[in-house]
Structure 1
Amino acid sequence: MTSASAVPPTDGRVTDYYSALGPLIQLAWGDNLHFGYWEGPQDRSSPQEATDRFTDLLAGRLRVGPGDRVLDAGCGVGRPALRVASSTGAAVLGVTISEQQVRQATELAEAAQMSGQVSFAYADAMDLPFESGSFDAVLAFESIVHMDRPKALREMARVLAPGGRLVLTDTFPVGGGTEPPDGGASDTGNAGNAGNTGNAGSVASLGRIEDYPGLVAGAGLRLDELTDVSEHTKFTFIRVLERIFRSRKEFERQHGVSVEEVFESLKSAHPQASVDGTAEVGCLIMAAHKP
């Protein structure tokens, strides 16, 4: 597998993807639209258990508690934001560029009777409508794959208060393809596109794990942790497919879309996922703080 430059996905393409495919993925996977975390191949935890486990790992790294304010940048339909708020006692504001997701997330918060602690808004994480230093922590759970990484990191750093933490997950190619496209050293400041590799037509791009120290420093943050958790997340694609095929008839009856079309859309979002669902996509956890 080789690495190729990719322009970060446009807001419209990402919004269209989640508007069309989000409900289908939710039917197969639930409300946590991100990787699950399994202890190993024998771990048959449900998607909810595996995704909640991953959320809890990130929530602990935020180091927040009652009275703190957390920004969930790219919040999806809000399940991680609700869990972070519930487990830490912090107030959480989730932002997404999908109005449909804002509505769903708000409904979830109301149903959980957490509207006073958790709220959601339409906003672009690369151009946040908040004053500098507004948040004690920022969470970006598998959302930076849809963004220009240097630009997003600078903006997330801007809204962090001094001492605040940024915790995120990102995807990267495994099994090769991690060298910069020209074979030389990566330039994390080049046109705001460094650290974006993969299929230019996809709604998501892969980063490079080795770029993160430079990306973090370029955003004015200090790196605290960079952990490869691919061995725990690599079962996600095959588990998604298993659940889709298990309920194939009901799936297609409800939505009028074939399983094959869903699979092709998943491939569009994650072009390095192999056909049998095994991982060619790695996953990392990054934690940093604002001096």
Structure 2
Amino acid sequence: MVSGLGGGYFEIRVDMGNVWTGPSSRSEISEIESAYNELAVLVEETAGPDRHYGFWTGPHDDASIEEATERMTDVVVSRLGAGPGSRVLDVGCGNGRPAVRVARTLGARVVAVDVDREALRNGAEHARAQGVAEMVEFRHVDAMRLPFADASFDAVLAFEVTPHFDVTALYRGIARVLRPGGRLVVETPYLRVPMTEEIRERIGPYLTMLNAVSFDSPEEHSAAARQAGMAVTELVDVTENVRDSFPRLVSGLRERRARLEAERGVPGAARLLDVFAAWADTAEVGGVVMTFTRMEH
């Protein structure tokens, strides 16, 4: 069962076979970094510095994509259960906006990790600009090899990074560094129906472009979390709230088509736009915010 933001409940029915299997069992760190470096400037110019979905309250919500992505940050941050004195881990922190927001709004100390060195530099600059440089530590770390002591964090957050990993292994590592009673909050896209070859053909190029290796259902996330010793606290379907994110991004990219053609050539620009448009037009892709709690030993 999945809770809605309004407090009601509805059921997500998803086949357990919704796994995207990319070209390898796990992307190389350098490949992920290269993929994001190549797309980062382009996407940030179009959709702002946050590298995750925006959150709109309904069809009459005229918030900008920058406002909506910050709102999504607050949806996740509000579920961490952290406060002054807490230690929070941001896995796949990107440009560090959520990490900085955790420090500013909750007063918690944050360790923000990513494999994208340029994004880490941007995050550190943003933390300094916001006056929380001493509260947010940015580190170049592989999320599958977290170099932290057991039970050393009170909460963990992860924005749209799980497609890069085998979630069973990822959650096992996160649970190890999370104290008993601490929370993991994950925001991610998911496939609302069983994977078919037709869907695979449409969204495969996008997932491959980002070096994604899995595309798991909420049920698969929940099973992996339980195996790692975490209980499922809440699953919130945000599909309708995030639906505008990629159409807006594609619209912005199309406005920059001349620049894309100058940088990538006409065929390259067309391919890039087609890949983003196919993802944006795939109604079968939804969004979910999941909260897991580390069980007592």
Give TM class, smaller chain. 0.7 to 0.9
Q: How does 1:195-234 map to 2 (within 5 A)?
A: 201-202=208-209, 203-204=211-212, 205-234=214-243
Alpha-carbon distance between aligned partners in 2 of 1:256 and 1:103, rounded to the nearest angstrom: 25
Is 1:17 aligned with 2:35?
yes
Paired residue secondary structure (2:79) = helix
* Counterpart residue type for residue 74 of structure 1: G
Per-residue Cα deviation, 1:51-99 (whole angstroms, up to 9, x for no partner):
0111001111001101101000000011111112211111111100111
Q: How does 1:1-291 map to 2 (within 5 A)?
A: 3=18, 5-6=20-21, 7-177=25-195, 201-202=208-209, 203-204=211-212, 205-249=214-258, 251-252=259-260, 256-257=263-264, 261=268, 264-265=271-272, 274=278, 277=281, 279-291=283-295
What is the TM-score of this pair, normalised by structure 1?
A: 0.83
User: Any conservation in 1 of the 2:18–2:216 contact (CA below 8 Å)?
Assistant: no
* Counterpart residue type for residue 230 of structure 2: L
Paired residue secondary structure (1:76) = coil
Aligned twin of 1:187: none
Unaligned residue ranges in structure 1 (runs of 5+): 179-196
Alpha-carbon distance between aligned partners in 1 of 2:268 and 2:48, rounded to the nearest angstrom: 19
What is the TM-score of this pair, normalised by structure 2?
A: 0.81
Identity of matched residues, %: 37
Unaligned residue ranges in structure 2 (runs of 5+): 1-16, 197-202
- The Cα shift of 1:225 comes to 0.8
Alpha-carbon distance between aligned partners in 2 of 1:112 and 1:41, rounded to the nearest angstrom: 32
Alpha-carbon distance between aligned partners in 2 of 1:177 and 1:160, rounded to the nearest angstrom: 32
In 2 relative to 1, CA 276–134 (structure 1 residues): closer, same or farther, beyond 3 Å? Answer: closer
User: Any conservation in 2 of the 1:95–1:123 contact (CA below 8 Å)?
Assistant: yes
Paired residue secondary structure (1:61) = coil
Q: How many residues align?
A: 267
Instruction: Give the stretch that moved more between structures: 14-23 or 69-78.
Output: 14-23
- The Cα shift of 1:279 comes to 3.5
Alpha-carbon distance between aligned partners in 2 of 1:244 and 1:198, rounded to the nearest angstrom: 20
Per-residue Cα deviation, 1:212-262 (whole angstroms, up to 9, x for no partner):
33111111111101122111111111010122223444x549x83469746
Alpha-carbon distance between aligned partners in 2 of 1:8 and 1:266, rounded to the nearest angstrom: 26
CA RMSD of aligned residues (A): 2.6
Alpha-carbon distance between aligned partners in 2 of 1:152 and 1:262, rounded to the nearest angstrom: 34
